[in-house]
Amino acid sequence: MAHSSSQQPLAWNPNKKHSDPERWICIYPAYINSKKTLAQGRRIPKEKCVENPTHQEIRDVLSAAGLKVGVENKLYSRERSKEALFRGRIRVQIKNEDGTSCVAKFASRDSVMLHLGEMIPKLKTRQVKPSPEPSQASGGGKGRKGKGRR
C-alpha cells in the first residue's frame, strides 16, 4: 500500500522546492500559437505569437536562454489534433530554491512566452532561404501583354 503514493498525480505540495521539476512552469505549444484563439488555449497576444510552434523549437530557444528545460510527451487538453506535431509539454525552471529568478529577464511565465514568440521566428529552421537563381524569376514575362484573342 505504501507504493500507491508514487502513483498519485503530482499535486502542488508546499514542501516541493522551486528546483523540483513538479514546481517548474508548463508551456504547451498552443500557448504561443498564432493560429489558436484564446478559447483554444492561446495565452499571449496574437501579434506576439508564432505560427504552429513545436516543442523542439520551444526547448531549443529556452535552453539557449540558459533555462533548465524538460520535455514531456503530453497533449494539451484543448488540442483537437492528435498529430505528433502538436504533442509535447515543456517544463521550465524559472525560480531557484530560494524563490529568486534563475534568469533575471524571466520572472514570470508570461515573460518566458513572450520571449518564445520573439525568438522562434529567428531560428535557422524558420528562416526562408533565398532562391539560388533570383535573376531568372524576373524579366521573363516581357512581350506577352495584349496578345490574347481578339
pTM of the predicted structure, to 2 decimals = 0.73
d(CA 99, CA 121): 31
DSSP, residue by residue, 95-106: B-TTS-BSSTT-
Q: Is domain 31-126 in CATH 1.20.1080.10, yes or no?
A: no
- Residue 121's SS3 state is helix
Q: What is the pLDDT of residues 56-94, one digit of tens each?
A: 999 999 999 999 999 999 999 998 887 777 889 999 999
Mean pLDDT by 10 residues, the chain (150 residues): 42 73 91 95 96 95 95 91 84 91 92 96 84 52 53
By the 8 A CB rule, do 9 and 74 touch?
Answer: no
